Structures are given as structure tokens and as C-alpha cells.
Amino acid sequence: MAMALEIFRALADATRLRILALLRRMELSVGELAQVLGQSQPRVSRHVKILCDAGLAERRKEGSWVFVALGAPDVVEPVAGALDVWAKAEPDHWAVADAARLAAVRADRAASAAAWFEGHADEWDAIRSLHVADSEVEAAMALVLGEAPMGTLIDIGTGTGRMLELFGGRAAVALGIDRSSEMLRLARAKLHDMTHAELRQADLYALPLADGAADVAILHHVLHFAQQPGAAILEAVRVLAPGGRLLIADFASHDREELRLRDAHTRLGFADEQIATWFEAAGLQTARVETLEGGELTVKLWLGRKIGASVYEVKAA
């Protein structure tokens, strides 16, 4: 009863109903909500706090920004169902205006992303010119992962969200993790239509998931930036359920020292034996290794499976 009272008190305000409707479309920063609603950020923050206290929304701080997303499904879904039914009987005139302003926010995100890429194009092109085309790497990753459903997918070091864009459609839940708030803003611009995708700012050594919460984890060109690659693998395996899979896409060992100096690569690639040792220490069985040559740097794919039967294997049996 207490929970129900808190929820209904939170919903007893037109602005908070509008915020909830906007969050059902996409995750937004407090500043973006203020832009859509035409209200001050402090006022919007107060409304957001009330929704969060009722469990209808969640706040996440990323640098100087605060992003707001829907709360837990078991709290939000019954409310959303009732609101949808009532909306059929009495259309909300605010919804049309808010949708138009939300489109402007999406356009701003896309423009910011485009400007960032334009400013960093030379850096990206310099790395890409050294190895096989990204399209070939992505096709090989898709082949290694297969066509089966992925359950909960976590992309560690998601960057611009490319892995979620590629594989998120096959996952029930798709979660992207990155330390960079700037990268997460770029990812949001790309993934705004993927309603089941979630982005969080966190460290790859301290993932914001419970033990065994994920079914597939991806480290795509991330491990060579890690100060402690073994610890990063260990943390990725912690959040995998038994039978869960970890796919690493990275460079084979090389001697391009300028990448360490110019592009902050901590490790100059990895040998199969190194990855196998880390897999074994983390409780992974090496399931597949692929080598993609075609440039000065060789790209490797290492797939490990956490010891134990997966949920999907148990259901199939």
C-alpha cells in the first residue's frame, strides 16, 4: 500500500506525467528534459527526484551531466499500461508538442556527434588504415557469436555504441558501459531508437552488474587500453552467468611503439597464450580463436565460455 501511495503521489502532476512519457521514448539528461518541457533545470530536477523516490525513474551522473531513465520494469510497466489505456479515451495535447521538441533534442545530439567525428576523423582513420576493414571484423564477430538469442548483452567500453548497434537487436537487454561521458553522449545519438538499450558510465574494473547477470560480454578494441587486462577479463567473467560467453576483439602482438606514444595504447596487442592464461584464471574455456590478417596489424577474436551450463542449454535439454 505504501508503495502504491508513493507512486500515485508522484504521478499527481502534469509535468511529471510528461517526464514519464518522454523517458518511455528515450533516456534524457536533466538539461534535455528542461529543453523539451520549457522549464528551468532546478524545477525539472525536483520533479525527477519525486519520480525517482517513487521508483518510476533512475538518475545517473556522467561527468557534469545527470541522465534520467525509466525505473524498474515491475514498477513502471503497470503504470505505463494504465496510462496508455487512459490516453485512448482522452488524448494528451502536450504529447504532440513534447514529441516535436524531443525530435529537436535528437537532432542536436546527432549534430554534436557529427561534429565530434569530423574533428577526430584523422585519428580514427590512422588506426583503421593499419588493419583489416572494420566490416570484415564485424562480420567475423557475427559469425563467431552465431545467430542464437543473446539474452542480456553487455558491451564493455562501448565507445560510440557500435557493438550494441550490431548485436543489440538479438538481445533482450543491451547494456553499454564506458568511462567517457563524451563517448556515451555519442552512443546515445546513435542508439536513440533502440528502446531496450541502456548506457551507463562506469569503469571496466567495476561493472555495475550483479554476479551472473549477463549472457554475452564484448570487449571490442578495448583491452589494449587496459592497465590490467587480466583484471578486466576477470571482472567481465564475474558478471557472466554459467555458460555465458566473452568475445574479445583486439590486436595480435605487434611492435608499433608509436601507438603507445601517440594513441595511448597501454599494450601492444596480445598473444594467444596470454589470453588463454587469463581465460583459465577467470574460469573461461577457450571456445574459438580467429585471426584476421590484411594489414600491418593483425586483428584477433578470442571467444571464451564460462564454465557451467547456460540458461538456453538447460531450456533446450
Over its length of 317 residues, how does the chain's per-residue pLDDT go in tens digits?
A: 788 899 999 999 999 999 999 998 888 889 889 999 999 999 999 999 999 999 999 998 756 678 888 898 889 999 999 888 887 777 677 788 888 888 888 787 767 656 655 566 556 556 666 778 889 999 999 999 998 889 999 999 998 899 999 999 999 999 999 988 878 888 888 887 787 889 998 989 999 999 999 999 999 998 988 878 888 999 999 999 999 999 999 999 888 888 777 767 778 889 999 899 899 989 999 999 999 987 788 999 999 999 875 544 434 33
pLDDT at residue 312 in the model: 45
Beta bridge partners of 303: 247, 288
The cell numbers describing 212, all together, are: 551472473
pLDDT at residue 311 in the model: 47
Three-state SS annotation for 115-162: HHHHHHHHHHHHHHCCCCCHHHHHHHHHHHHCCCCCEEEEEECCCCCH
pLDDT at residue 112 in the model: 67
Judge if pTM exceeds 0.75: no
pLDDT at residue 85 in the model: 84
Map grid coordinates 523517458 to a residue. Answer: 23
pLDDT at residue 282 in the model: 93
pLDDT at residue 125 in the model: 55
Spatial separation of the C-alpha atoms in residues 2 and 79, rounded to whole Å: 16
pLDDT at residue 317 in the model: 37
Spatial separation of the C-alpha atoms in residues 225 and 270, rounded to whole Å: 12
